[in-house]
Amino acid sequence: MNIRAIGNLLILATTVALSYGMQVSKPHYAELTAPIPVDGAVHDTVRARSFAVRLDRVVFARTLKSDQFGQEKLLTTSGLWAVVTTSLTATSTSTTVADGTWQGPTGLRYHQSERLGYRQDMPPHSIDPGLERRGLFIFEMPPDQIPGASLLVAGRRFGPLDAQARISLDAVPTGADGQPADVLPQYDLDARL
């Protein structure tokens, strides 16, 4: 084998290694256009671009009770229900907050439960500047996805390059086993304050 062939092989190997390195070290398109997180904690007012949100309360329950069209509806789950009560307001113009996601400590994401059907106090929440509105986000997830979780709130479900409130749920009380400290056997959505 001559020196020219060895040189060409070295150049080819270097080019392949460099191309592979660039591919694995560069962010993917989805990461480049992902929502921009604005961090906060429970009871903090987190200001995103078009709205502000404050997480007021998180209640965990094994069963949810709701009245729909004059009939009582009981919903069970193999995990736990998380009922998140928030206060929302628009920052400058009327807008909508349409998406809430529970992100567990392992990165798994749980979108709002659709099993309740339409409720006026669930997303989408139409909000106006200066007028605070209470809103619910309801999730069902395994208990191990509660400690170290975050609530992600965005104006749209797919809002590239827009702000997203990311509220740490580290302040939620847990027992020695890491599970929520207060789990209600049943929570009535229509009797809440």
**Which of 17-26, 123-132, 163-172, 175-184 is least confident?**
175-184
3-state secondary structure of 23: helix
The pLDDT of residue 180 is 77
65, 74 contact by CB (below 8 A) = yes
pLDDT in tens, 31-43: 777 788 899 999 9
> pTM here?
0.80
pLDDT of residue 193: 43
Query: Who has greater pLDDT, 133 or 120?
Result: 133
How large is the average pLDDT for residues 58-81? 89
What CATH code is assigned to 33-188?
2.60.40.1240
Beta carbons within 10 angstroms of residue 182's beta carbon: 12
CA distance 118 to 71: 14
Per-residue pLDDT at 116 exceeds 80: yes
More reliable by pLDDT, 56 or 177: 56
Over range 83-98, report the average pLDDT.
94
Is 90 exceeded by the pLDDT of residue 133?
yes
- Per residue in 153-176, pLDDT (tens digit) is 998 877 677 889 999 988 776 666
Query: 8, exposed or middle or buried, with CB in 10 Å at 0-12, 13-18, 19+?
Result: exposed
